Amino acid sequence: MSDTAYFVPIPAPGTALDGTATDPHIECFRPTRHTVSTWGPDLQHGAPPSALLVRALERHRPRPDARLSRICIDLLGPVPLTDIEVRTRIDRPGRQIELVVAELWATAPDGTGRAVARGTGWRLQTHDLPDVARTSEPALAPFDPAAEPSDMTLFGLSGYIDTLDWHIVTPFGVPGPSAAWVRARLALVEGETVTPLERLFAVADVANGIGSKLDPAHWLFLNTDLTVHLFREPDSHWTGISAETSVGPDGIGMTTGVLHDEHGPLGRITQNVQVRPR
């Protein structure tokens, strides 16, 4: 079991989990203990699978003249700590705009294969337009590499949360958005160099925790998805997240936030959240 990565690549079997023959667009991975969720010891935290889906979206028929601008991750159910397949395709081809889709497949308790997470990404053709570049988002307080990391031990649980470095900018739970600089210490896939976009999605899913006003020792606030719009490509090892969660009287909430790298704001994130007492 790897101590340096969230996933280990394994050979693809001759038959995919849906019964079809394996094709070049299917890859297989074994999750490590570092993917374990905050909410239970038998499932993966949402961040590592999200980053694995983004890896697939980036690698599938890449184009030097286009990049991913909106990525939506849907968690279709608990992502188990078992071997998973990643299946990738282009749903909407185009010269200027195309839609790339990736799915994580796992074996259900009854032995059948099913999709447990899906990522969709709009890939847009780029043009060199530096004169019109701007952002309406306020900058996050700069990351200070000399500052002591924040202690983020979460009620004794190990797993994914333990693989992150934190520098809190605005304390969690205070009125208004809370903010932190976050970095994953591990590689996404064993033996690979993490791309800037993979690095961003390896931590983006924690936005609902940063923005929540609820004590995780007494409340569950699980997100079913995350949608990220990027007007600029990320370019740093640390990701800044400023987020706040609103909750309706029926226990359904929404996290909204701004994503930053060390050069400034680069996009927005939203998450659908289900709130329940423990």
117-139 pLDDT, tens digit each: 999 999 999 999 999 999 999 99
CATH number at residue 33: 2.40.160.210
Residue 260 lies in a domain: yes
pLDDT tens track for 212-234: 998 887 888 889 999 999 999 99
Q: Decide: 260 and 239 in contact? Cβ < 8 Å.
A: yes
Q: Alpha helix (H) ranges present in the chain?
A: 47-59, 196-204, 207-211
Domain count, the chain: 1
With respect to residue 140, please indicate whether it lies within any of the assigned structural domains.
no
Q: Is residue 36 part of a domain?
A: yes
**Domain range spanning residue 27?**
5-125+147-277
Mean pLDDT of 19-32: 79
Query: Within a domain: residue 56?
Result: yes
Confidence class for position 20, pLDDT limits 50, 70, 90: low
Q: Is residue 264 part of a domain?
A: yes
Instruction: Using the predicted structure, report yes or no on whether residue 108 has a pLDDT greater than 90.
Output: no
Determine the pLDDT at residue 155. 47
Residue 16 has pLDDT above 70, yes or no: no
Average pLDDT of the chain to the nearest whole number: 91
Q: Is residue 166 part of a domain?
A: yes
Residue whose token pair is 């997240």: 241
Write down the residue that tokens 């060390």 correspond to. 262
Retrieve residue 192's tokens: 């690979």
Handedness of CA 231, 160, 16, 12 (dihedral sign): positive
Residue 130, domain member (yes or no) = no
